[in-house]
Each structure stands twice: as structure tokens, then as C-alpha cells.
Amino acid sequence: MNAKVLTVEEAHALLPRVKEIVDRLRRLRHQIAATQERIAVLEALWDDEIRNESNPDAEEYRKHKLTNRRQVRQFRKNAEELDRLGCHVKDLDSGIVGVFHVRDGKAVFMSWNLDDTAHETYEELENNPRVYSVEEARAMLPRLREIFREFDRVSESLEKARHELSLLEVMWGDDVEDDDHPDAPQVRRLTQEIRRLVRYGRDLERELHLAGCVLTDFQRGLIDFYHVRDGQIVYLCWQRDEPDIIAWHPLDAGYATRRSLDNTDKGELGNPHAQD
């Protein structure tokens, strides 16, 4: 996917060309559907015999198949041109298209209805999709390390409390919930502790979201940051045992596709077990 970042002015300059391509895609999709319907009718009528040279409809069938291939190639070619322009179709039927854009420091999808290109709509890519520079992301690392240490502590405490509660429930069954049961206070204490730990874990996640960090995996300590690199929106990618921001990956790809910031491909960056 071409995650090219465009300004409002650049996007508006592209819209006439985009409208031409989208109109062509609409026509081609209609033509493809009609051709495929004719092919399906012939296949339903003759089954495998339609492919025999002696079949009276064989020539028409081949013609429709060739036409369909040509139409599909043309559709792909036009779709690829849209992608090269950095434009993406959100709804082909309604003619809604858009581009990636940075608005007020956040990554958004800026879109238009091609019948009304005077008014654009801004849709945030994520909850608080702040766009970070490498330096800004680096400045977050001390706090991120603290947060993941807290996640570890919460996970360990939750596991212990749930284990203790489970033992009591196995030992006593529903009786342990009676107020006069000797272990009832312990059950209430453990239940309250579990709720407190869950709330605290959610507070930590909320802090990350408010900072514009994308929490990919809290157990492994994976964080993504929206970032503009070579004119495209990408993710800076950091793992908790890494001393610095060293990697990035495309917006539509994941950890396995990580590349180093100096643009050299290093397979170990994308290996989820490389640093285990």
C-alpha cells in the first residue's frame, strides 16, 4: 500500500485525474460483471463440454474469457495508478476516495465524495494517532520502560491472586461466598485486588493511547509510533529490550517486515525470537 502523505492542496490538484480513474473503474467493474455472467451462463448450459472445439458456443466462450482477462488487467492497471498517486478508494459505488494526511500533528485519512470535492472529511487512523519524529519517540522510551515493568508486576500479581481465589473456590465451592464463611473475607479481598489490578492495567494502556503510542503486544513489550518517512506514513517500531528506536515497518505490515532506520535490510529485525 502506498501510504504517501499529501497536503490538502496536493490532494485537490489530483482530484480531476482521480475522478477519471474512478469513473473508469466503475465502468470496468460493470463490464467485468456482465462478461462473467455470460461466461457463467455458458458454463451452466454446457458444463465441461463448452471447452471442446466442436461445441457450437466454444468460440463465443473463448471470446468472453479473453475479454474478461483484458477487462481485469485494465481494472488492475487503473487501480495501480491510483495507488501510485497515493489515492485510495474507500467506496467505489459512492465515489468516496481519500489520501493519507497529517492534520494537527495526527495521522488521518482525508477523503471526498467525488461529486462534492469542495468538502473533505478527516478520519483518524487510530485513537489519538499522533505522528512522532524519531527524537520524540526516543524521548518516550524511559516512561515506556517503566510502564512495561508495571505491566509485568500487574500480570504477576493478577496471576497470583487468581490462583489463590481459584484454590478457595475449588476447596469450598459456592459456600465460600457466604458472609459467615471463615474464608469469605479472603475471597472478598482477592476479588477486590483483582479488580484493582485490572483497572490499573487499563489505566496504563490508556496512558499509552493518550500519548499516541500503539500498543501492539504488552507481554512482549511492542510499541508502534506513527511516523512520516520519505513522504509516507509508517510505523516506528520498538521492543522493550531494545536500547533505542532502531526499526520501522510499513503501515499495512507487521513486526516481521521491520527494517533498520538506516535503510539496510536486516533479517534479524523481523525475527520475533531474535532477542529472546
Residues 6 or more apart from 191 whose CB is under 8 A from it?
Answer: 165
As a whole number of angstroms, the distance between CA 235 and CA 218 comes to 17
CA angle at 37 for the pair 32 and 40, rounded to the nearest 5°: 125
Residues 6 or more apart from 189 whose CB is under 8 A from it?
Answer: none
Q: Retrieve residue 124's grid coordinates.
A: 483518524
DSSP-assigned states of every residue in 188-221: HHHHHHHHHHHHHHHHHHHHHHHTTEEEEETTTT
Give the pLDDT confidence of 93-116 residue by residue, as tens digits: 999 999 999 999 999 999 999 988
Specify the DSSP element, H or E, that contains 14.
helix 8-46
Examine the pLDDT at 274 and tell me if it is beyond 60: no
Give the pLDDT confidence of 183-240 residue by residue, as tens digits: 677 777 888 899 999 999 999 999 999 999 999 888 889 999 999 999 999 999 999 9
User: Is the dihedral angle over the CA atoms 272, 275, 142, 158 positive or is it negative?
Assistant: positive
With beta carbons less than 8 A apart as the criterion, state whether 194 and 156 touch: no
Per-residue confidence (pLDDT) for residue 272, from 0 to 100: 43
Q: What is the mean pLDDT of the chain?
A: 89
With beta carbons less than 8 A apart as the criterion, state whether 143 and 151 touch: no
More confident residue, 170 or 105: 105
As a whole number of angstroms, the distance between CA 34 and CA 38 comes to 6
Per-residue confidence (pLDDT) for residue 135, from 0 to 100: 96
The band of 166, judged by pLDDT with boundaries at 50, 70 and 90, is confident
The edge-to-edge listing of strands for the beta sheet with 213-217 is: 213-217, 222-229, 232-239, 247-250, 259-260
- Mean pLDDT of all residues in 166-181: 66
Q: What is the pTM of this model?
A: 0.78
Examine the pLDDT at 268 and tell me if it is beyond 50: no
Examine the pLDDT at 273 and tell me if it is beyond 60: no
Stretch among 60-74, 77-91, 160-174 having the lowest mean pLDDT: 160-174
Domain coordinates in residue numbering, the chain? 8-124, 134-270
Report helix, strand or coil for 237: strand
Query: Percent of the chain beyond pLDDT 70?
Result: 90
CA-based Rg of the chain, rounded to a whole angstrom? 28
